């Protein structure tokens, strides 16, 4: 079966992990620190915080900005469940917004429609790695509303020369086993405001203040009671470790090659699947933007499920990302969001990852053409 997601972990990552194991220090240490600096250089930001997962970064971002009871957060309904659940668990209300019918990114007009005096933030997704129209989003939100970016799909994407995740007030990234840059599990957080970023650091690690160090490090300062500490707040433990960070550092070096291969596959699909009646191909990134090519999506009005079943019979696994959040029964939302609901019925994601061979992408494209013929 040709899989829709894959990763490229090999001997280089194994050697990096072996070096960490040999050091006997497996927790948050020099590898985490080095990876954070390398990510900051890559994203062109002053600081990037490493987490044990993107979901942890989402919770920390919301908590650091004080999102809570009485607040509303406008959320693109085409997004992963972690965003809406984090908003709810912190006592705030997610307000689901519709998306553009081709890019599947949040409609700025929806922000204008849904914004109230209670709106504290807008949480957008850069769908499939295509940057959302950030200037229009900022204009619709206004300067008094925070903008958070879910850049889990967009590790290499740029909008007008600026990395996605560094456009707004805060951005999160995912490095789990199905993403482009893979740590096994992991995530990152960018926060522009240094005071809010300091709060996020405390929330990331049990509420310790920024100056808190390990006992062994504190003992080097001349303190006679190096085991003492204090807290700034109450929180959990969401840090990463040097084992995973060592893999992430290797993956970051390989990332440009991953993106280049993904774009080759994207371009092949765009050419090979063109002009098929009944099949709508995805758009290219917005002018002035570059994508990460995380997802390749087609729209098949009236025949999406049949196409998915046919491709599965041919040994090709497909899926649909992301089930609209306003349709999740647990959230008890009564919104009618027409573009997202049409997407939910018509859209299919084809395999797109750097490990696909030329023979495999040709098989996928040929099978799709046969279905429509």
Cα 224 to Cα 230: distance, rounded to the nearest angstrom: 16
Helix residue ranges, H only, the chain = 11-23, 30-43, 54-64, 81-89, 108-114, 134-141, 194-204, 215-219, 242-272, 304-313, 338-346, 358-372
What pLDDT is attached to residue 158?
98
What pLDDT is attached to residue 210?
74
Report the SS3 class of residue 96: strand
Do 199 and 170 touch, CB atoms closer than 8 A? Answer: no
Which residue ranges does the chain devote to CATH 3.40.640.10? 11-252
- Each of the 373 residues of the chain gets a pLDDT tens digit; together they read 999 999 999 999 999 999 999 999 999 999 999 999 999 999 999 999 999 999 999 999 999 999 999 999 999 999 999 999 999 999 999 999 999 999 999 999 999 999 999 999 999 999 999 999 999 999 999 999 999 999 999 999 999 999 999 999 999 999 999 999 999 999 999 999 999 999 999 999 999 987 665 556 656 666 667 888 889 998 999 999 999 999 999 999 999 999 999 999 999 999 999 999 999 999 999 999 999 999 999 999 999 999 999 999 999 999 999 999 999 999 999 999 999 999 999 999 999 999 999 999 999 999 999 999 9
- The 10 Å Cβ neighbour count of residue 79 is 26
What pLDDT is attached to residue 297?
98
Do 259 and 316 touch, CB atoms closer than 8 A? Answer: no
What pLDDT is attached to residue 10?
96
Do 367 and 279 touch, CB atoms closer than 8 A? Answer: no
pTM (2 d.p.): 0.95
What pLDDT is attached to residue 225?
78
Tokens of 268: 């092949």
Q: Is the peptide bond before 322 cis (omega within 30 degrees of 0)?
A: yes
Residues 261-306 have pLDDT tens digits of 999 999 999 999 999 999 999 999 999 999 999 999 999 999 999 9
Q: If you classify domain 11-252 with CATH, what class do you get?
A: alpha beta
What pLDDT is attached to residue 228?
87
Cβ-based neighbours of 328, under 8 Å, separated by 6 or more: 81, 84
129 φψ region: left (φ > 0), alpha (ψ -120 to 50), beta (else): left
Report the SS3 class of residue 198: helix
Which residue ranges does the chain devote to CATH 3.90.1150.10? 254-372
CATH hierarchy code of domain 254-372: 3.90.1150.10
Provide the β-strand partners of residue 319: 349
């Amino acid at each position: 079966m040709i899989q829709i997601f894959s990763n490229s972990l090999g001997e280089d990552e194994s050697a990096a992990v072996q070096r960490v194991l040999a050091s006997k220090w497996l927790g948050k240490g020099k590898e985490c620190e080095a990876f954070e600096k390398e990510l900051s250089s890559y994203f062109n930001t002053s600081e990037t915080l490493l987490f044990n997962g993107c979901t942890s970064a989402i919770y920390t971002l919301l908590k650091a900005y004080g999102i809570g009871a009485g607040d509303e957060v406008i959320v693109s309904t085409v997004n992963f469940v972690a965003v809406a659940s984090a908003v709810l668990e912190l006592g705030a209300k997610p307000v689901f917004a519709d998306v553009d019918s081709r890019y599947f990114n949040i409609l700025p007009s929806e922000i204008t429609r849904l914004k109230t005096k209670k709106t504290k933030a807008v949480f957008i997704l850069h769908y499939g790695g295509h940057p959302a129209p950030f200037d229009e989003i900022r204009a619709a939100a206004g300067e008094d509303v925070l903008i958070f970016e879910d850049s889990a799909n967009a590790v290499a994407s740029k909008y007008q020369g600026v990395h996605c995740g560094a456009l707004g007030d805060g951005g999160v990234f995912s490095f789990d086993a199905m993403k482009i840059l893979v740590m096994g599990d992991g995530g990152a957080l960018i926060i522009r405001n240094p005071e809010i970023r300091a709060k996020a650091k405390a929330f990331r690690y049990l509420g310790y203040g920024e100056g808190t160090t390990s006992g062994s490090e504190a003992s080097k300062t001349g303190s006679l009671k190096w085991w003492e500490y204090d807290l700034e707040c109450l929180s959990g433990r969401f840090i990463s470790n040097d084992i995973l960070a060592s893999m992430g550092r290797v993956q970051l070096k390989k990332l440009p090659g991953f993106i280049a291969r993904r774009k080759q596959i994207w371009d092949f699909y765009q050419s090979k699947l063109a002009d098929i009646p009944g099949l709508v191909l995805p758009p290219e990134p917005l002018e002035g933007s570059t994508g990460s090519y995380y997802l390749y999506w087609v729209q098949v009005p009236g025949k999406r499920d049949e196409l998915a079943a046919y491709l599965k019979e041919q040994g090709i696994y497909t899926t649909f990302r992301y089930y609209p959040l306003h349709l999740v029964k647990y959230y008890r939302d009564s919104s009618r969001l027409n573009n997202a609901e049409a997407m939910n019925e018509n859209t299919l994601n084809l395999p797109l990852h750097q490990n696909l061979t030329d023979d495999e992408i040709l098989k996928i494209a040929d099978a799709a053409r046969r279905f429509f013929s």
